[in-house]
Amino acid sequence: MGAHTIRLEPGADLDGFRTAIRHLVPAGIPPETVTWIEGDAASLFPEEEPTEPGPPLALPRAAAALIPPVVMHRDPERYGLLHRMVWRVARGERHLAEVASDPLVHRLAMMRKSVARDLHKMHAFLRFRRAGEGAGGRERFAAWFEPEHHILAEAAPFFSARFPSFDWSILTPDGSAHWDGRALRFGPPGRREDVPEQDAFEAGWTDYYSSTFNPARTNLAAMRAEMPKKYWHNMPETAAIAGLVREAGRRTSEMIARAPEAPVKRVPARALAAMAAQEPASLEALNAIIRASAPLVPGATQAVLGEGPLGADIAFVGEQPGDQEDLQGRPFVGPAGQLLSRALREAGIDRDRAYLTNAVKHFKFEQRGKRRIHQKPGAGEVAHYRWWLERELAFVAPRLVVALGATAVLALSGRQVPITRARGPATFDDKPYRGFVTVHPSYLLRLPDEARGEAYAGFVADLRRAAALAAEPRAA
Q: Residue 270 has what pLDDT?
A: 53
**311 shares a domain with 459:** yes
**138 shares a domain with 105:** no
Q: Which of 139, 169, 194 is a domain's end point?
A: 194
* Residues 6+ positions from 154 with CB-CB distance below 8 Å: 12, 72, 119
**365 shares a domain with 226:** no
**132 shares a domain with 84:** no
Residue at 292 is within a domain: no
Q: Residue 465 has what pLDDT?
A: 96
**320 shares a domain with 231:** no
Burial class (CB in 10 A: 0-12, 13-18, 19+), 333: buried
Q: Which residue has the higher pLDDT, 381 or 47?
A: 381
Residue at 264 is within a domain: no
Over range 443-455, report the average pLDDT: 91
Strands 139-144 and 129-133: antiparallel
Q: Is the pLDDT of residue 80 over 80?
A: yes
Q: Which residue has the higher pLDDT, 313 or 1?
A: 313
Separation of alpha carbons 424 and 436, rounded Å? 5
* Residues 6+ positions from 107 with CB-CB distance below 8 Å: 81
Q: Which of 92, 121, 150 is a domain's end point?
A: 121
Residue at 437 is within a domain: yes
Q: Is the pLDDT of residue 46 over 80?
A: no
Q: Which residue has the higher pLDDT, 152 or 1?
A: 152
**407 shares a domain with 367:** yes
**149 shares a domain with 116:** no
Residue at 315 is within a domain: yes
Least confident of 129-138, 336-345, 347-356, 432-441: 129-138
Q: Which residue has the higher pLDDT, 231 or 410?
A: 410
Confidence of residue 389 (pLDDT cuts 50, 70, 90): very high
Question: What are the tens digits of pLDDT across the range 264-294?
Answer: 444 455 555 555 555 688 899 888 888 877 6
Residue ranges making up the domain that contains 155: 127-194
pTM above 0.85, yes or no: no
**464 shares a domain with 359:** yes
Phi and psi at residue 383, to the nearest 5°: -65, -35
Q: Which of 226, 257, 288 is a domain's end point?
A: 257
Sheet holding 184-187, edge to edge: 129-133, 139-144, 167-171, 176-179, 184-187
Confidence of residue 213 (pLDDT cuts 50, 70, 90): low
Q: Judge contact between 387 and 276, C-beta under 8 A.
A: yes
Residue at 271 is within a domain: no
Residue at 460 is within a domain: yes
Residue at 203 is within a domain: no
Q: Is the pLDDT of residue 48 over 70?
A: no
**349 shares a domain with 329:** yes
How much of the chain exceeds pLDDT 90, in percent?
54
Q: Residue 191 has what pLDDT?
A: 92
**223 shares a domain with 76:** no
Up-side HSE of residue 171: CA atoms within 13 Å toward CB? 16
CA-based radius of gyration for the chain: 27
**338 shares a domain with 231:** no
Give the bridge partners for 141, in sequence order: 130, 168
Residue at 204 is within a domain: no
Q: Residue 199 has what pLDDT?
A: 55
Mean of the per-residue pLDDT values of the chain: 84
Question: What are the tens digits of pLDDT across the range 17-41?
Answer: 999 999 999 999 999 999 999 987 6
Over range 357-376, report the average pLDDT: 88
Separation of alpha carbons 269 and 274, rounded Å? 9
Q: Which CATH number goes with the domain that contains 306?
A: 3.40.470.10
Confidence of residue 229 (pLDDT cuts 50, 70, 90): low
SS3 annotation, the chain: CCCEEEEECCCCCHHHHHHHHHHHCCCCCCHHHEEEEECCCCCCCCECCCCCCCCCCCCCHHHHHHHHHHHCCCCCCHHHHHHHHHHHHHCCCCCHHHCCCCHHHHHHHHHHHHHHHHHHHHHHHCCCEEEEECHHHCEEEEEECCCCCCCHHHHHHHHHHHCCCCEEEEECCCCEEEECCCCEEEECCCCHHHCCCCCCHHHHHHHHHHHHCCHHHCCHHHHHHHCCHHHHHHCHHHHHHHHHHHHHHHHHHHHHHCCCCCCCCCCHHHHHHHHHHHCCCCHHHHHHHHHHCCCCCCCCCCCCCCECCCCCCEEEEECCCCHHHHHHCCCCCCHHHHHHHHHHHHCCCCHHHCEEEECCCCCCEEEECCEEEECCCCHHHHHHHHHHHHHHHHHHCCCEEEEECHHHHHHHHCCCCCHHHHCEEECCCCCCCEEEEECCHHHHHHCCHHHHHHHHHHHHHHHHHHHHHHHCCCCC
Number of domains present in the structure of the chain: 4
Q: Residue 155 has what pLDDT?
A: 95
**404 shares a domain with 390:** yes
Q: Which residue has the higher pLDDT, 98 or 369?
A: 98
Confidence of residue 384 (pLDDT cuts 50, 70, 90): confident
Confidence of residue 3 (pLDDT cuts 50, 70, 90): confident
Question: What are the tens digits of pLDDT across the range 115-169?
Answer: 999 999 999 888 888 887 766 667 789 999 999 999 999 999 999 988 888 899 9
How much of the chain exceeds pLDDT 70, in percent?
77
Least confident of 57-71, 79-93, 228-242, 252-266: 252-266
Over range 450-468, report the average pLDDT: 94
